[in-house]
Copies of this chain bind each other. A is one copy, B any other.
Amino acid sequence: MDLARPRVETLLEGYRLGTDQGAVAFCAVNLVEGPDEQGTIRRIIVDTGHTGRRTDLDRALARRGLGRGDIDMVVCTHAHWDHVENIDIFDQARIVLHRNERRYLRSPHRNDHACPEWIGSVFERYDDRIREVEEGVQLLPGVEIVDAPGHSAGTIAVAVAGDDGAAVLTGDSIQNSTVARERRNALVFWSDELATQTIDKLVTIGDVIYPGHDLPFRIDANGKVEYVHDYRLTVTGVPAGEPGLKLDTSETFRQTIMPGIEEQRLPD
């Protein structure tokens, strides 16, 4: 591989897929590859997905001739279960997260259903591999941390200056293209006001948005969303001809704010 600039490749697509019986919660898992200052190619995974995608993640790496040990860094855009549960498999990688997110893990709000209290124990296991970051930290030349709070206390995005312009990997600061268009975060655990400021900021920075739970997209001059990848998903295990099975393809935007959000504080 001969790379002058970093590039982004999606290992596992993010999906909006859900159900009325629980969250499917497939977040995008992206690989950023680029040369370090010495010209050595480094590999960063941004968000790992949850345990249910572990074998798919291994397969996605294997298709590229890569294994778990080839990953130098894992960025957690935030510490929600569906984005971090596979951090353990990359045992050669630094684990990158925002210092506010790490502080938050000490005592997540009881209503924060995306951040069970035990997630702190998961990160503690890999304490010696954690690197706390904040706005402006450069992971590689052209690969930079962008503060993106609101969805959670310490959500971060990763900006990648590639050959095709700026890509921004947003995690759940922008869950999907509707969120980018509405300028409202779909699920707010920390601050709606910050979440909206974050969306404005990221949409300005990014030529291509790699959202948390949707395919990457551009927004054209008329505000129209154009997806960069083709949609591909096979849903299995659904009974044929079952009247109780319904597909809801409506796209109504609905925002959920965590009850008790006004009590949110970072521990000292």
Contacts and interface: CB of A to CB of B under 8 A. Distances in A.
A13 B32 CA distance: 39
Contacts of A15: 21, 237
Interface string A39-70: 00000000001111111101000000000000
Interface residues of A, number: 58
A81 B85 contact: yes
Contacts of A23: 52-53
Interface stretch (A140-148, A192-200, A240-248): A240-248
Contacts of A58: 113
Q: How many copies does the complex hold?
A: 2
A17 interface: yes
Contacts of A232: 244
B16 A237 contact: yes
Contact of A248 (B54, B125, B236, B244): B236
Contacts of A12: 21-22
A234 interface: yes
A253 to B, nearest CB: 12
Interface string A223-249: 000000011111111111110111111
Contact of A235 (B125, B230, B235): B235
A83 B219 CA distance: 40
Interface string A14-29: 0111111111111000
Q: 6 smallest A-B Cβ distances: which pairs?
A: A16-B237, A240-B249, A23-B52, A22-B53, A231-B244, A20-B234
A121 interface: yes
Given A21-B26, A26-B21, A118-B122, A233 B249 contact: no
